[in-house]
Amino acid sequence: MASTHSCKSTEHGEAWIVKEDDEWHLNINHVATEQNLEENGYLEEESQTIDSVVLNVLYCPYCGERLSEGKDETIPSFTFHDFSKW
């Protein structure tokens, strides 16, 4: 069984969906643009990750494909990582 999901939408930007510990996780990275670098002295280079969020999902929110077979519910949760400051 595939442990990653990709579709047209996940090809854009830094988004990917992987299965971890029996749960599907949607990962999205927010990457720095030139403007972000000008506004935030902590950032060093373009396309470095500014922050990222990981959410548990049952379906792909972009194409609607069901990811978790036999699982109808989950406990909504997310983790957030901020890399834009020390």
- The yes or no reply on residue 7 touching Zn ion (CB under 5 A) is yes
- The yes or no reply on residue 78 touching Zn ion (CB under 5 A) is no
Which of 7, 46 has the CB closer to Zn ion? 7
Shortest spacing between CB 8 and Zn ion, in angstroms: 8
Shortest spacing between CB 27 and Zn ion, in angstroms: 13
- The yes or no reply on residue 60 touching Zn ion (CB under 5 A) is yes
Query: Distance (Å, rounded) from C-alpha 18 to C-alpha 7?
Result: 12
**Where on the chain is the footprint of Zn ion (CB under 5 A)?**
7, 60, 62-63
